[in-house]
Amino acid sequence: MSDSLLGALAAARIIDLAQPLREGMPCSPTHPGFHLALTRRHGDAARPDGMTGSHELIVFGGHVGTHMDALSHVAVDGRFHGGAPVTVENGRYASHGIDEVAPMVCRGVLVDVPALRGVGRLPAGEPVTAEDLRNADVRPGDVVLIRTGWAQLWHDRDAYLGTDSGVPGLTADGAQHLAAAGVRAVGADTIALEHVPAGSGLASLPVHRILLQDNGINLIEVMNLEPLAQAGAGEFVFVGAPLPIVGATGAPIRPLALVEGPPDRVTPG
């Protein structure tokens, strides 16, 4: 392996951008939540040398926790991005599944909207528009992450979901702006990435259509962007790969940001 590559990595601070997976965490009411059960505990059986083993069963939806949306998550008039017909084979989508997403090691850009507006967290139902993105140095192939500060509410399930209050997020004109810039993926720290007005729920998701269907741009939702903002990192190396679940409409991802700084530890999300 190249010494120069190892040297560059040794000089980087790694920031974890994923939320922890645990029982009772916030998730969209239309998706099955996270459940873990120990199917074999230490002490259930023992080897002659006294060593024991334990394992578990994990059940949760592909759009629960920090995850990436596949292009098959959205279709219009029976067709996916690019015009491919929606086709199910052996209980899964024959194309546009999350397994088709290549691992990402690329430039990342943080758009810290609360910092731009001089607040700690955006109010419920607050739109993030193209104007908020105008001065960001976004280039083709970038992964753009939009901070609203909503991760601060992660431990308050009802507040984070914002069913009645709404949730801040990207508007249609903001999505068009990023698509025109040629970005590779867009992420955010909220349940659905896009602007959800008070009382509207998830009945209308224009940003999903613009990015996934019209432009083939993957979404990353339920991120923790607080440590990245605290590091003051406007740009960084983004590393992320969703689980390659064949034909799935989404899958967990553990995104990382590599920034300049002390390399002695991973900064948790």
The CATH number of the domain where 185 resides is what? 3.50.30.50
Contact 46, 52 (CB under 8 A): yes
Instruction: Answer with the residue of higher pLDDT: 181 or 262.
Output: 181
Rounded distance, CA 120 to CA 152, Å? 10
pLDDT at residue 190 in the model: 98
pLDDT confidence of residue 268: 60
Query: Is 66 inside any structural domain?
Result: yes
Instruction: Please calculate the CA angle 241-242-245 and round it to the nearest 5 degrees.
Output: 135
pLDDT score, position 264? 47
Evaluate whether residue 100 is within a structural domain: yes
d(CA 31, CA 48): 44
Using only C-alpha atoms, what is the Rg of the chain?
20
Quote the pLDDT of residue 46: 84
Domain contains 256: yes
pLDDT per position as a tens digit, 34-91: 999 999 999 898 889 999 999 999 999 999 999 999 999 999 999 999 999 999 999 9
Residue 34 maps to a domain: no
**pLDDT (average), residues 2-23:** 86
Q: Residue 66 to residues 30, 160, 173, 188: CA-CA distances in angstroms?
A: 16, 14, 25, 10
Residue 127 within any structural domain of the chain: yes
**For residues 28 and 247, what is the distance between their CA atoms, to the nearest angstrom?**
21
105 within domain boundaries: yes
Helix (H) / strand (E) containing 59 = strand 55-59
pLDDT of residue 138: 98
Q: Would residue 51 count as lying in a domain? A: no
Please report which confidence band the pLDDT of residue 266 belongs to, taking 50, 70 and 90 as the band edges.
low
Q: Number of C-alpha atoms within 13 angstroms, CB side, residue 227?
A: 18
Residues 6+ apart with CB under 8 A from 203: none
Half-sphere exposure of 132 (CA within 13 A, CB side): 28
DSSP letter string over 196-242?
A: B-TTTTTS--HHHIIIIIIT--EEEESB--HHHHHTT-SEEEEEE--
Q: Is 139 among the domain residues? A: yes
> Which structural domain range is residue 186 located in?
3-16+61-267
Per the structure, how many domains does the chain have? 1
Pairing relationship of beta strands 92-93 and 88-89 according to DSSP bridges = antiparallel
pLDDT at 200: 72
